Each structure stands twice: as C-alpha cells, then as structure tokens.
Amino acid sequence: MTRSANLGFPRIGLHRELKKAQESFWKGETDAAALHATARELRARHWTLQRDAGIDVIPSNDFAFYDHVLDTSVLVGAIPPRFAEIADADERYFAMARGTTAAPAMEMTKWFDTNYHFIVPELHAGQSFALNAQKPVGHYREAKALGLETRPVIVGPVTFLSLAKAKDNGLDPLDLIDTLVPVYAELLRTLRAEGAEWVQIDEPVLVLDLSDKQRAAFQMAYEVLSKAGPKVLLATYFGALLDNTELAATLPVAGLHIDLVRAPEQLEDVLAVLPEDKTLSVGVVDGRNIWRTNLDRALGFVTRAWDQIGPDRLEIAPSCSLLHSPVDLDAETNLDAELKSWMAFAKQKLGEVAALTQAQREGRAAAKLTFDTSAAAAAAHRASPRIHKDAVKARSAQTIALDRASGFAARRAKQRQKFNLPSYPTTTIGSFPQTREVREARAAFKKGLLDAAGYDAFLEQETEKSIRIQEDIGLDVLVHGEFERNDMVEYFGEQLDGFAFTKNGWVQSYGSRCVKPPVIFGDVSRPSAMTVRWSAFAASLTDKPMKGMLTGPVTILQWSFVRVDQPRAETCRQIALAIRDEVLDLEKAGIGIIQIDEPALREGLPLRQRDWNSYLRWAVDCFRLSASGVADETQIHTHMCYAEFNDIMPAIAEMDADVISIETSRSDMELLEAFRDFKYPNEIGPGVWDIHSPRVPSEADMLALMQKAAEGIPADQLWVNPDCGLKTRGWPEVRASLINLVSAAKALRA
C-alpha cells in the first residue's frame, strides 16, 4: 500500500521552547536534566503530531540540539582534538558548536541554499572514527516506548565528507571514506538489532556537480551499507539529480527520495532508470516554503509514479525535511483569513501528504474536502486583486536603462569634486549598537506603552548622539545609525505593499537562533518613502556627507518566503523598482551618498554551476535597476559580508557600484585577491575590523591590513571601514575601535 512519509520535523517547538531551554542552560540557569526533559517533551509532541496528521513513516534522530551535522560528527567520533579533553558529553557538544575561552568553535556555514547553518565537520591528519550510537538508538527506543515505529534519519557518509574541512593541508576528506563507512555499517547493524526495518540516509550532495571521486565514494559506501541490515531510503533534495540520476537510482539501496517541488521534471528521468524492485519516495509538498500545495497538481505526479511502479513501492512525502518550515499555521492569529487560506506550515503540510496518500489509495473522492479546499484556495489566489496589481506589472514591463548616465571614470571625477574626501576615506557599514535601551524602546512602542511621538523623539536623540560621536572621532562619511530598524529586511518589508508578517513563523537559522522571514505574497510596490525621514534628519545635523542606507532587492528576496506563482527574477525586479524610487527620493532630499546592501547576493547562487550565469544576470540587473537612476555626482555604495568573491567576480564589477565594502579582516585580506586579479576598477573598502569579535583592533593591526590591501589594489581606490554593521557591538568597543581606525587612515595618508 502507498505510504505517507516525513523526512524530518522542526525541532525548535511552536513557541521556540528548545531555544529557551538551551539558552537558559548555557547561562547556567537550568541544569542538563531540565534541558533533556524539554527535548524529550518536544520529540514526543512532534512524533504524536505526525502520527495524528496521518503520517505512516515517521522519522527519528531528526531532532538535534544545535545541528544535525554536528550530531553526525559526534556520531562517528570526529571530535576535534581541542575538545577531546572535555569529559561531559553535553558540555563538549556545545563547546564544539559555540567555542570556549580555550577552544574556538568549529566553523559554521550554510546548508546548501537554505538559511540554515550547520557546523562544518573538521577532520585531522590521522583521523579515525568510532561509533557513538547513543542518540539515534536512544531516540528510536524513546519513540518505540510511545508506541511509534520510526525510521531513523542520518546524514550520509558522502555528504558528511563532502561538507567536511580538512585541518591539515594535503588531506582530502573523501579519502577517509574507507574508514568511515564501517562505522556507518555498524550503526545500521545496531539499528537493525533494535528493530528498525528502514533507515533514511540523506545524501543531498547528489543534487550538486559531483567529482569522479565522489561518485566512486557513493558506489563503495552503498555497496557496503546495503548489506548492513535495515533497508536504506536514500534521500536527495533541494534540486534535480540531472547527471547523477543514474548513479542515485542504481545504487544498491531499497529506496530513493526525490524532490519534485524544486525539480518536477526529474520524475520522468528517474522513472526511466529506476530498477524494478526499488521504492520511490516522491517529494511533492514544499518543505522550503509556506504556501499551500496545489493538491490536484501534486496528485498528478503521484499518479504518474503509481502508474509505473504500483502502490507498494510508492511513498508520498514533503520535498525535504520540514526543518525549513515554521511549525503550525493554526497559531497565526493575526494573519487575515484570506492570506492564511493560501498557506501551510509543517503541521498543515503533513495533512497534505496524508490527503494525497488517501486519495491515491482510495480515490480523490475519499479526500474530497481537502482537495476541494486546496482547489478553491488556488483559484482565489489566481484571481485575487491583493496579489495582482496591474500598475506594478505594467511598470515592471517597461524598459529602464540599467547603466548609469556616465562610466565610472567620469562619475568619479565629479564625485571627487563634490565631496572632496581625503585619500583612504573612512566610513562605517551603517548600523550602530542596538543597545538594550534601543530594543526596549522599540518593544515598548510595539506594545503601545510608548506613543509614536515618544518613540520618534527617542530615535532622534539616539541618531543625534551617534552623529556627534562620529564627528568627534573624525570619520569622513557618516551614517545615521539605523536605530529605527529591527532588521534590515523586515524594516523594508513592513513598508512595502505585497509583504506580510507572521507572528510565530520561526525557522531555525543556527543553534538556538531563529528567523521569522517576511512573506512576499503579491506584487511589490512602495506606497511612500521609507528612509528619507531618518536620512534627511541625520543630514540636517552635520556638515559631513551623510550616507543613506538601503537593503538591496536581491537580499530582500533572498531572506523572505517568496511567492511561487511567478519567477523569482520578476519578484526581484518589482522590489528593485521600489528601491529605485527610494534611491531617487533620497537623492532629491539631498543625500549624495547612498548604500544599497547586498550581503545575500552571493548566497543566492544556484546549487549547480550551469545555473549561475542566468541567476547572476538577473540579480546584477536588479541591483543596477535600483541604482541607475541617480546623477553622476551621486555616489552609490554597496556592501557584502563574507563570501567567496571569486565565484561572482565579473558580476560584482558589473554591478558598477562606485564603492563596495566587503568583509575581509578575518581572511587577512585574502578575499581581496579576487578583486586584485580581476583589476576591479571601482573603489573598494576592505573591512579591517572583525566585528564578530568583541576585540578592539589596534591602529597597528588595521594599518597592517590596509598596507596589505594596498599591495594589490591601487591606493586611490581604497576606503577604510569595518567588516560589517555594528549593531551587535557595545558603544565602548565601537568608539575605541573607530578611533583606532581613523588614526590608521591618517597614518596611511601620511
């Protein structure tokens, strides 16, 4: 019989219970027993929720305190030597994630193209592995004690090694496959002995461009693992298998999961090569977004698979783990009924999987109500005037020049004349400390305890304070400080049409950190100016140039839940037009320098290299669209955080910002090499102060970094600035560091 399945459930809890339990444990307010009790409670709640939603195949071991890749490092005994001395298992685990005074944390990076961060496995020369099966076995038993049979989930060995970093030059993590696989085999035998009939092994690297070595590692690993005991469901997600289709479909495992939301077209390719006896799990409910599934369309895919392979080898599932979805739409009491009728969170998505399964087993009529509701929502959505705005579409269809009026050399001459800045000009990236007072004032205003006039007066006072501090320190280009902003995307989303906000739509970002992305549901437009009031106020307080601060269209898109009824490029273009209008309004208000931040441009790169160019084309064009309307004299800045700039080099130059600031200090200016090698023509501010650390850099530190920068980039192209915004830092460090930064610039000029 066709089964309904799930690949993973969010761990944080509807009310972020896990976050709260972890943070109070870290502060020493509660003990390990309390932390584990909360975790157990959440697991039990989530397992029963899945069962009650009608899911036949329920995952276990998808729960993790900090991160499931970190759990995998622990599972296989890949504990970096600097943590080996810590005897207590919880203490060691959190030390690996968060660092201690003696041992810096392991590295963290984004999980494929999601906004979830994992802890990068660290492997050392002479690395050996040893099984520590306590967690998967413990959780499997825990579910069993509740009367639930589960399918344990593990990150697969090839994905694990592909994501790992070798801490010794010359070591290729993939060379360790032979020593790692026996540990996995032992784990599978152990789980089989516990009673597990199936395990889910996640190998999302199968949707990436693979090397021959990775392919060989797959063959070798699954030859062994298929004989270890339980049946293996090999899970792939986030994209199409493409040239890896045959490899994935023919590995000697019992089942394969494919993502048919990201890549519906791959169903035919997979069916064409799927061996006779293999189970196919079709991911037809989007695990990455908050929209309700079009059930009739999804049933079409399910039926197509069923036609070929029959009921017994078919599973229906979300496209990927629901880790990337908020927990429960029922908790959204502030969203209006219409918007809500278009959405589904994790719990609702499982209901959709169950309805599809029922329809497949008993016919659509058996799940008629759910299907009819889905169809009605889809029809209402297509017709809704809240989504489709003729004026927005008409404007977006117009051709608007993406080039500035003149080339960079001509603009630079005019800008130099206008601003008359010294060489090595100094500036900051935008935000100043969001102190407790700032956050409290905002909270009070949101709760109605502080009225609009009072909040406004408070913000004016903070802004003025920050300007006086910048003047005293002697910075050349000032900023207003962004005190009025809670978040660089939410602040703009709240002022744009076409955006909505949830109350509880939290998604884990890293560890205990959760984000609540805005929802872009309709055509985007800007009813009125968004930032002019604060930039103009700030500019009126000083004779120094004031830089206006905006978030760029690609970053707004990238950090939101985006509508799926039109291409992302089109949604991005609408946002770009709104930002363009804001840029022009700032210019009209006398703001001569405008920064359009694009920290998320690099992370938006598609998983497959073949798709990079088309993405970069529209992403860069959207940035240019937002910037190109201004006069030559107006100086456009952009900012990007830490990124592999090599991957996007011609694209960054094509953005044609007059000045770009980037995060480089921790890389010891290595990231600048991409700009040097490309002979990047415009101006650039390589960050000289690692703002992620409370350490105050000395004048000598920053001078040395700038001298290094000047070896590769002509001095008259260089600016001096921190790595990123200063909102997470305290005023004393900010003041001390900026004083040193300005003296470093003065020393350079001398």
Report the C-alpha gap between 463 and 469 in whole angstroms: 10
Instruction: Kindly identify the residues of this chain, within the stretch 432-491, that bind ligand GLN according to CB under 6 A.
Output: 488
User: Please, which residue, 386 or 516, has the CB nearer to ligand GLN?
Assistant: 516
Q: How many positions of this chain bind ligand GLN (CB under 6 A)? A: 12
Nearest residue to ligand GLN by CB is: 725
* Residue 693 vs residues 239, 600, 697, 729, 734: alpha-carbon distances, Å: 36, 21, 10, 9, 11
- Which ranges of 330-398 would DSSP assign to H, the alpha helix? 337-340, 346-362, 368-383, 390-397
Please, what's the b/e burial string for 643-669 (b: 16 or more CB within 10 A of its CB; e: otherwise)? bebeebeebbbebbbbbbbbbbbebeb
CB 292 within 8 A of CB 335: no
Does position 601 interact with Zn ion (CB under 5 A)? The reply is: no
Binding mask 540-579 for Zn ion (x = CB under 5 A): ----------------------------------------
Does position 97 interact with ligand GLN (CB under 6 A)? The reply is: no
Does position 599 interact with ligand GLN (CB under 6 A)? The reply is: yes
CB of 663 to Zn ion, least distance (A): 6
**Residue 75 assigned ligand-binding role:** no
* Residue 625 vs residues 85, 96, 399, 402, 490: alpha-carbon distances, Å: 55, 44, 10, 5, 21
- Which ranges of 10-145 would DSSP assign to H, the alpha helix? 17-26, 32-52, 68-75, 89-98, 134-145
251 binds, among Zn ion, ligand GLN, none (CB under 5 to 8 A by kind): none
Helix (H) or strand (E) holding 742, with range, is helix 731-749
Report the C-alpha gap between 684 and 716 in whole angstroms: 10
Nearest residue to Zn ion by CB is: 724
- Applying CB under 6 A, which of residues 429, 473, 562, 576 lies at the interface with ligand GLN? 429
Q: Which tokens is 38 given? A: 């909360």
Closest CA to 56 of 314, 387, 340: 314
How buried is residue 345: exposed, middle or buried, by Cβ count under 10 Å (0-12/13-18/19+)? buried
Report the C-alpha gap between 612 and 568 in whole angstroms: 14
Cα Rg of the chain (Å, integer): 27
692 labelled catalytic = yes
- Applying CB under 6 A, which of residues 431, 434, 634, 740 lies at the interface with ligand GLN? 431
CA dihedral 672, 673, 678, 680 (to 10 degrees): 20
**Residue 29 assigned ligand-binding role:** no
Binding mask 422-461 for Zn ion (x = CB under 5 A): ----------------------------------------
Report the C-alpha gap between 683 and 675 in whole angstroms: 10
Does position 724 interact with Zn ion (CB under 5 A)? The reply is: yes
Catalytic residue among 15, 257, 324, 692: 692
**Residue 414 assigned ligand-binding role:** no
Instruction: Kindly identify the residues of this chain, within the stretch 616-675, that bind Zn ion according to CB under 5 A.
Output: 641
* Residue 111 vs residues 163, 508, 591, 599: alpha-carbon distances, Å: 9, 12, 39, 17
CB of 639 to Zn ion, least distance (A): 6
CB of 385 to Zn ion, least distance (A): 38
CB of 465 to ligand GLN, least distance (A): 17
Q: How far is CA 214 from the centre of its chain?
A: 25
- Applying CB under 6 A, which of residues 404, 563, 568, 639 lies at the interface with ligand GLN? 639
Task: Tell the residue number behind the tokens 């273009």, with chain if given.
Answer: 573
CB of 515 to ligand GLN, least distance (A): 13
Report the C-alpha gap between 114 and 112 in whole angstroms: 6
Does the CA dihedral 693-694-700-702 come out positive or negative?
positive
**Residue 431 assigned ligand-binding role:** yes
Does position 560 interact with ligand GLN (CB under 6 A)? The reply is: no
Binding mask 711-730 for ligand GLN (x = CB under 6 A): -------------xx-x---
CB of 637 to Zn ion, least distance (A): 12
CB of 708 to Zn ion, least distance (A): 20
User: Please, which residue, 425 or 599, has the CB nearer to Zn ion?
Assistant: 599
CB of 554 to ligand GLN, least distance (A): 12
**Residue 316 assigned ligand-binding role:** no
User: Please, which residue, 115 or 279, has the CB nearer to Zn ion?
Assistant: 115
Task: Tell the residue number behind the tokens 């205990």, with chain if given.
Answer: 512
CB 281 within 8 A of CB 237: no
**Residue 430 assigned ligand-binding role:** yes
597 binds, among ligand GLN, Zn ion, none (CB under 5 to 8 A by kind): ligand GLN
Catalytic machinery residues: 692
| Binding-site residues for 5-methyltetrahydropteroyltri-L-glutamate | 16-19, 110, 115, 513-514, 559, 603
| Binding-site residues | 16-19, 110, 115, 429-431, 482, 513-514, 559, 597, 603, 639, 641, 663, 724
**Site of interaction with Zn ion (CB under 5 A):** 599, 641, 724
**Site of interaction with ligand GLN (CB under 6 A):** 429-431, 488, 549, 597, 599, 639, 641, 724-725, 727
| Binding-site residues for Zn(2+) | 639, 641, 663, 724
